[in-house]
Each structure stands twice: as structure tokens, then as C-alpha cells.
Structure 1
Amino acid sequence: GDVYKRQGLFHADPHPGNVFVLPDGRLSLLDFGNTGELDEPMRESLTLLLEAVVKGDARAATEAYLEMAPGSEKVNHAALLVDIKAALYEIRRINLADVSIGSAFESLLRAGSRNGVHNPGEFVLLTRAFVILESMIRQLAPNHNYMESFREEISRLTALHFSPVRIKDKSARLVRDVERLIMDAPGDTRRVLRRIAEGNLGRLPGLEALGGRFSRNLERLSGAIAFAALVISGSMLLLTPVGGWHHVLGEVMIISGIVGMLIAGLGVLRRDHGQR
């Protein structure tokens, strides 16, 4: 359990031959030839998914499930939500002691496959491991309230997910990423502007035939994106708990972005008025 929380490693083949029951009642796993690993974003999404399944929250389960499959492009979201609602409804009808997380995950995988979700291989492995392990636990302790124990573990995972130390670490990484973005932005902007001036930025056959109007619209769009990026980056800096110069820089970036968008908007109105 601790290895999963820290690194996302799990035993992917916990069949009875790979599990020993120790004298104190704990389980010892053998033969780690078949293991899986979940990265941090997938572990966070899985925690939210488990919490949603236990609570019967179909919308939250759908959102967390899709976060685990970022490569899915053509997903029928409405149909997926309906299928997941149906799956969770069936789970809620079962006696709590008989609920299987592995079976719930299998229902999610089937619903996802029907509606265009590209199920990640690690999640498929984890589902298989749940199904095998749950079956064995029910044989070893048929009267044990497996779901109640699982609910307690989800509470611990959720507390870990939102712990102050974890939030502080994520905020520190966010600050470093924003600092890197700020440091790289001037050079990247100069390179983009140079390519635009040379006419080498995304040239397409027949683009010149579209005339100056397309070029002006492209310039406006590029400016709007740049100013919006300033506002977003500034907001991210303001949300960090570090404080100090980060908040000052965030405020300056937000004000600069808003002023830039206002000036650009006035320029567009002035040009449109002049053309009339």
C-alpha cells in the first residue's frame, strides 16, 4: 500500500499462488514479474474515481475516468455518462458487503470501449488485479466487510491527495514552471516574430491569395492569445502560497494582459470604423 501511494507500483497478478497468509493475518505477495505502475496524474485521477464509485457519483466518476485516458478524442460523452450512471446504479442495488470494485472497473472499461474511450493499459491491468485479489479475499474472509475497509482506504488516499505537504509541493512545482515560462517567453516570442516577419511561420499553399485581411485577423488572434497567456500566468502566480515577489509579478502580468487586450480591442474598433 505504501509503495503504491509513493510510487504507484502494484502487483498485477495476485493469484492464490502468489499470495501467502502470514501468521499475523497479513498478506505477503510473491513473484513480481508482472507489475504495473501509475504515474502521479493517473493516481490522482484514480483516487477521485474510487471516491466517486463508492459515493455513486456518476458525473464525477466520468470526469475522473476520462482524465485517466487523455488520448481519447472522439468520445460520446453523453452516452458514456448514461452508461456509467447505469453501472453505478447496479452497484448501489447490491448489498454493500458484496460490492466488487474490480467488477465496477470492468463495467467502466466496457462503457468506455463502447463510447470511444482509449482505455490505458495500466488501468486494465489494475482492474484485473482487483478482480483476482477481491475473489481471493472473499474466500479467505467471507464475512469481512470488504467495502467498508476499502472506504477507509479511500479516505486515507483522499487525505493524502489534499494534504498540506502535497499541496505545497505541487505549488512549488507550479511556481518553477511559471518561472521557466516567464524566462523562456522573451526568446520564444522573438523567434516567433522573426519567423512571422520572414513569412516562414506555418506557410500554406495559396495562403498569400487570401490577402491582407487574413493576415490582420491572424495578428489579432496572436495578440489575443499572448495577452490571455499573461492573465492566466499571472493568476497562477497569485494562487501560489509562496507570496512575496510572485504575487507582485502575478498582479503586474494580469494588469498588463488586461490593458493589452483593451488596447487591442480599441485598435480593432478604430480600424473597423475607419474602413466604414
Structure 2
Amino acid sequence: MASEKTVLITGTSSGIGLATAVAAAQAGWTTIATMRDTGKAEALLKAAAEHAVADRVQVKRLDVADADSITACLDEVIAEHGRLDALVNNAGAARVGTIEQMSLADVRATMEVNFFGVVSATRAALPHLRASRGRVITVTSVGGAVGQPFNEAYCAAKFAVEGFMQSLAPVADTVGVDVTVVEPGAVASEFVSNLGLDVPALLAAAGPYAPALQAYIARTQKSFGNAQTPFEAAAPIIEALAAEHPPFRVQTSDWAREFVGTTLTDLDGSAVQTLTRAWLR
């Protein structure tokens, strides 16, 4: 069995996950690139080949919403490689809408992928990471620090992830496992386009929220016009993989650091409310 360090990354069919898988392989890691549907691996495999790391990238199926899928994937990794040195929780799905106009099923589905999926993968990986004195790196979002309009369910899930990881970090440290959260801002990836938003239909169904939603969508589209590339957002993840003692919280850009800093110094919540209310006018 191989003795090289092995990292498992979730959600690698596109965006930050794809870029992280390629960059980790470039950095010398044996990279287990997982996705719910391995039929969507073409873009990843093409990128790995273009960067001359196809031999270091292994695609496996893993659905973070399916505990049996997580267990089966980890069992294969240990059987084939003998170790797991890092888990990168990247899989996630956005959800645009305000709570009055969402079903509880929608909210639960958002939490299932973005929160419980992270919890399930982390829980299953920890015994192996204890053995290797490895690390858990979780891609959250600036939306895990700053609640954003029309993202109540998504931000709730990302806030929950950050609270979970912040609580886990000192406990994991006692058994030699480092925990880091990585907070991207706007990233030019399929994460947004995969939402498949029908903006006219959304606005037509928004009722009294339509003016605010229209302003929010216009602001968001503008922000993604100046977005990072997925490889730029992946760079801090690779740094956290390599660091002897990675920090708990990392942002992927100067903008993200400034944005997250707003909430970390906002003791009464007024600064964040002033900021986000302006997006809706």
C-alpha cells in the first residue's frame, strides 16, 4: 500500500472542488476526488491531464447526504492507500429564497447537504485522521459569518458548519487533528450557474418581496463579475494542507477578509444590518 499522503475532497466535479483536487495533486498529494455522480468527472479528468497530474487523481463516488456512501468510499480509500491524511469538505449547494416563500422541505434539504453532509463526512473520517494525525479542512463561505438576504437557509447551514467546526477544533486538537474553515467570497464557478435560477419567475412569485429580491439579484450579479477564479480560491486550501499548524479560519481574498471582519467586530449587529440592508434598495 502507498505511503504517500492522501487527501479526500468532496464535491470535485466543478468549481473550487475541481481546482482543489488538481492543485492538491500538483502539490504531491494522492488525491481522492469524490462526487455524487461520477459521470460528471470529465471536466476534472481533463483538467488533471492538462496539469500533468492525472496519475495522482482518483475519482470515487461519494454522496455526502448518504452515510453508507461515505463509509463505502472511506473503506475503499483505506483498503487501497492504507491511510487518510486530510479531508476537505467542499460539497455544497446554494439555495436562494426567503423563508415565507420556501417549504420546510427546502430548508431541510439545504441543511442536509451543507451541514449534515459535512458532519457525516467528518465523523466518518476522524478515526483515520487520528491515526495519521491529519486535518479537516472545510469550505464554508463568507455566508457562514455574515447572514445574507434571501439566503436564510444557506447561511443558516454555513453558520452551523462554522459553529460545529469551531467547537470541534479544540477537541480534535487533543488527538492530533487540525481543523480549519475556509471562507470564499464570490467565485467564478458553476456553483451559481448550477442553481438554474429563472429570475423572471422568481420575481413574479416574490410578491411583496419582489423589489428587494430584484435589488439583491442585481447586486449579486455585479459581485460575481469581479469574482475569484476557482484556482485562486483553492490556493489557501492547499496552504492549509501544507501548513504545520494551519489557522482555524482562513479567507480566500482581501475582500473576503474585510467582509468577514465586519461581523467579527460587530458586537451589536448594527454594522452587518446596515451593510446588508443597503443591498435591498
Shared fold (TM-score, shorter chain, > 0.5): no
Q: Which has the higher helix share?
A: 1
Give the structure, 1 or 2, with the largest relative contact order (CA under 8 Å, sep 6 or more): 2
With structure 2 as the length reference, what TM-score do the two structures score?
Answer: 0.26
Which structure carries more strand by proportion?
2
